[in-house]
Structure 1
């Protein structure tokens, strides 16, 4: 008897669907490359200005201006944004949520200071390694997730591989203590990144718009970095100047473009595949930038090996472990990509 359409059981997804997933995965890899492009722009900006701190201010300022142009013309988002200081004073939600932008400020500051000396590949690998460890720790402590996850063998292996990846990419610099010290910046930035998605998501829920949360994120980072720079300038340790080259203002907009693309692609791929593909894009893009753009960085064999180990660490650490409490479906994505289970709840790191 012939099978009806409703009674046919497919052992494999249709060819068209498989091809579609492959195409969107490729798009995600390309979108992931925007992150090392941002690092390269901010690194060159820091070298051009001779001040990585000032470079981070320019990057945040460009992103802030763009976001203000997006939200201020709309009455609903404008009201929500202007009400956030009042919400902070009232203590509507725990005050640390309002300062998640400090993590992004740390990462962009480290780009301006260290990318020129380390290269994009070493910077991105150290950053991702720190984020892998941060994700494992935050999941265990229940930071930003509805339940705690046990330290499974897979998660411990993922964290250990992240450390190995960092050691590999910095090994060519073992005889240069200055470069080794600079690696600490992106690694610590990655460690701090675990709680940022939770803070941004909570602000987004409070404001009723993730666009407002993103803008607030940029504002906090810009103000903190700006105040610190004013202090340096008052002490005679810094002078203000702006770059003459137009593309050096693209650091912030590149971060926003990455977030927008991830928000679209997550609906097609799901969280886990999106995280792996975007991480691959970050690492592949980093190596390509260092290899093809003169003066960006030197790609050693151990640099490529370290990037591969970091990708493995990310994938292994994403394997869900036993829930310590609660019955909510486990989060299956590394926090380094900043993708909240709500497709609109995106993390902005710049």
Structure 2
């Protein structure tokens, strides 16, 4: 037998290969579809903010509905109830850094920015700004080892991805410079994205010590609701805010949409892994932002060509920034 013949590898079962490829394709499509829930949530919370006339009040309503759902979920399971009751003890003992309990503030910042910004910017520009903040945050958090087991080096490719995210934001908002306080309105979702890049690490730490991701998510909503409510109560006390409940039922679905998105991503990551999940979900968010831009009453904003260009640039930035850097001659692991 020749050396060439010895090196021939018998291919795997062709039907199994086709099945695996088909399975991945289905999961990718499902993840893209699940990713559209984020801009839909932004549209709902943006419409809520426009209707009640106060982004802080809208965020309280959205977080409040999410907290009610999670409280009901935790309450029905004895083990989850026990794990939730352990959290005060963990906090007193100092076994977990106090900053990990503040992950809910990241989600609160996102929801607050939705209530304030979406009505003026539109869903598409809001999502581009948010995602670009997330991309930069992901690169920084990976570098300092917050989100990965091995810190990722700041390679030229990853810096390019972060830089492209800034360009994408600038391109997307360029038609909105005539909007009053446009820079501030864009800075809100961009800054929220910078914070939200760390949120999964905080939630994961709480989940590890409490023994339940469900409990960590519920606590996430509790922290966000308390902080947002405190801010609203202070503003009501000094007369700079007002609070009213909308009469339209679907404006109360923001919290449920956020929870549905979290649940679907938790299921889909098992079949795709973090890298493919992250890219597919971002693609879904950007596609959904174009679809839902102005589709929900109270969130209309004209869709410019440069907004579409910014969407493409943001997706390219996400793909580039997700390329793992090399550490000690080996791949350091998947990026965000």
C-alpha change, 1:109 and 1:267, in structure 2 (3 Å) is same
Q: Residue 158 in 1 paired to residue 144 in 2?
A: no
Which one of 236, 241, 255 corresponds to residue 239 of structure 2? 236
1:273 is paired with a residue whose SS is helix
Q: Is 1:317 paired with 2:321? A: yes
TM-score by structure 1 length?
0.89
The answer to whether residue 147 in structure 2 is matched with residue 144 in structure 1 is yes
Matched, 1:280 2:283: yes
* Cα distance in 2, alignment partners of residues 271 and 281 from structure 1: 15
Distance 2:295 2:107 in 1: 27
State how far apart, in whole Å, the 2-side matches of 1:147 and 1:17 are: 29
- Distance in 1 between the 2:33 and 2:313 partners? 20
The answer to whether the Cα contact below 8 Å between 1:203 and 1:213 also exists between their aligned partners in 2 is yes
Contact 2:43/2:296 (<8 A) preserved: no
Q: Which runs of 4+ in 1 moved over 3 A?
A: 10-13, 291-295
* Native 8 Å contact 2:54 2:243 kept in 1: no
After TM superposition, the structure 1 = structure 2 runs for residues 251-266 of structure 1, keeping only pairs within 5 Å, are 251-266=254-269
Q: Which residue in the other structure is 1:347 paired with? A: none
Matches within 5 A, 1:1-350: 8-10=10-12, 14-290=17-293, 292-293=295-296, 295-323=299-327, 330-334=332-336
CA deviation digits over 1:208-239, x for unaligned, max 9?
A: 00000000000000000111111111112223
In structure 2, the residue corresponding to 1:136 is in which secondary structure?
helix
Report if the CA contact (8 A) 1:49-1:55 is conserved: yes
Shift of 1:11: 10
Query: Counterparts of 2:296 and 2:242 in 1: how far apart (Å)?
Result: 29
**CA distance, structure 2, for counterparts of residue 15 and residue 90 of structure 1:** 52
* Equivalent residue pairs, number: 328
Structure-1 separation of matches of 2:92 and 2:333: 32
Normalising by structure 2, report the TM-score: 0.93
State the distance in 2 between where 1:189 and 1:225 align: 14
Q: Distance in 1 between matches of 2:125 and 2:13?
A: 42
> Could you tell me whether the CA contact under 8 Å between 2:150 and 2:333 is conserved in 1?
no
5+ residue gaps, structure 2: 2-8
- CA RMSD between the two structures: 2.0
Deviations 1:299-346 (A, max 9, x none): 100000101100010011010002279x8x734243xxxxxxxxxxxx
Relative to structure 1, the CA distance from residue 237 to residue 318 in structure 2 (aligned partners, 3 Å threshold; closer, same or farther) is: same
Q: Judge conservation of contact 2:120–2:179 (CA < 8 Å) in 1.
A: no
- Where 1:319 maps in the other structure, the secondary structure is coil
Q: Give ranges in structure 1 of 5+ residues lacking alignment.
A: 2-6, 335-350
Alignment deviations for residues 234-277 of structure 1 (CA, whole Å, 9 cap, x no partner)? 11222322111111111011011011111111122222111111
Superposed displacement of residue 292, structure 1: 4.3
In 2, Cα distance between the equivalents of 1:45 and 1:34? 16
Alpha carbons of structure 1 residues 131 and 324: separation in structure 2 relative to 1, 3 Å: farther
CA distance in 1, matches of 2:159, 2:169: 16
Shift of 1:17: 2.1
Find the aligned partners of 2:332 and 2:219 in 1 and give their Cα distance. 28
